């Protein structure tokens, strides 16, 4: 290949990455709003200028490609379209986007990643229809953006994030249970933002009894998520904060709870899930399966040590967020994660792809299990 062609290919790749990066940023505007759909952005470029933009806003509404084509109008003809996720080619809640792309006269389509949904064949459909099509531009970034959607489509179970806020010596509360507040306001505001981005926030009964939490994103103006309480015997107090909005509450219990109490909660508008028993407690794996059937695609656990360790042992945790404050409580404080049955250091759980950053005065470790 001639040196000049190498240079042209390099310039083209740089250009594709630049526009795909803008597309990903546009897609991210739908964070917390599109479930069970993915976050999708679309940019239409013609003669080096962006002539159309679109962002999927909510499940059931028009897709990003359709909005971008409408925004570009007649300028869509002979243009290049950038989209972070393979366009749909089948009828779902909305018509297939591939038809709209062809009808608009788009010449080239650059795609970030394949859609994990086996029904989607947009890449091959567009190629078959004669469009110049390329896939895999900023693929790693595209997959991370839609990691929730990818897991849900492949497994029909929610993507689970475990959040822990602790001191530098690993404590989440003092001996008396006091934990307000270990981390600073910036870290708490960040957690409230995370709440608005997931479908549901989950705690155990002990957290409800000890802290009486609201689990709302009150420090961040965003969507209020569903609340899940893991309560094997249905002992949740009827006057707790979470009961004030029963339509937003899911209580996961077992056959150990009385049918009378289950019926009472359901009459109040609470969703009660009766999960399988696992050593007398709620089987968390079965709970995730049932939540997935209800199109709950993401859950953030904000529980205590017992629920945290149970979730890890059940193998339901995908990502862990550890907020560490520059404070020390000492050995009589309460630990963040309960007994995992690990007796040798070479059996310790190694966190994958850890990232570290400061949030106010606190340190955040983000990693995968």
| Active-site amino acid positions | 65
Using CA atoms, how far apart are residues 154 and 135, in angstroms rounded to an integer?
Answer: 20
Using CA atoms, how far apart are residues 338 and 308, in angstroms rounded to an integer?
Answer: 7
């Amino acid at each position: 290949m001639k040196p000049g062609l190498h240079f042209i290919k390099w310039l083209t790749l740089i250009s594709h990455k630049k526009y795909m990066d803008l597309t990903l940023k546009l897609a991210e505007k739908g964070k917390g709003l599109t479930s069970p759909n993915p976050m999708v952005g679309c940019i239409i470029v013609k003669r080096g200028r962006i002539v159309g933009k679109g962002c999927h806003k909510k499940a059931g509404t028009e897709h990003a490609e359709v909005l971008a084509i409408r925004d570009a109008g007649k300028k869509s003809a002979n243009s290049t379209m950038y989209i972070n996720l393979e366009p749909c080619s089948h009828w779902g809640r909305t018509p297939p986007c591939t038809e709209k792309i062809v009808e608009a006269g788009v010449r080239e389509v650059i795609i970030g990643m394949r859609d994990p949904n086996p029904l989607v064949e947009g890449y091959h459909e567009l190629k078959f229809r004669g469009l110049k099509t390329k896939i895999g531009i900023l693929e790693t970034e595209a997959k991370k953006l839609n990691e929730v959607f990818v897991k849900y489509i492949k497994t029909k179970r929610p993507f689970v994030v475990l959040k822990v806020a602790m001191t530098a010596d690993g404590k989440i509360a003092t001996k008396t249970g006091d934990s307000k507040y270990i981390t600073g306001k910036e870290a708490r505001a960040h957690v409230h933002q995370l709440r608005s981005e997931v479908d549901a926030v989950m705690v155990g009964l002990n957290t409800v009894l000890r802290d009486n939490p609201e689990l709302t994103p009150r420090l961040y103006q965003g969507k209020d998520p569903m609340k899940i309480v893991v309560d094997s015997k249905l002992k949740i107090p009827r006057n707790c904060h979470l009961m004030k909005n029963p339509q937003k509450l899911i209580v996961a219990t077992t056959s150990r709870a009385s049918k009378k109490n289950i019926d009472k909660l359901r009459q109040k508008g609470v969703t009660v899930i009766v999960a399988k028993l696992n050593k007398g407690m709620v089987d968390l794996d079965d709970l995730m399966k049932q939540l997935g059937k209800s199109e709950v695609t993401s859950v953030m656990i904000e529980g205590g040590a017992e629920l945290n360790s149970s979730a890890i042992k059940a193998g339901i945790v995908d990502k862990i967020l550890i907020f560490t404050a520059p404070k020390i409580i000492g050995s009589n404080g309460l630990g963040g994660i309960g007994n995992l049955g690990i007796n040798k250091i070479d059996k310790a759980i190694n966190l994958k792809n850890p990232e570290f950053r400061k949030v106010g005065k606190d340190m955040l470790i983000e990693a995968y299990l």
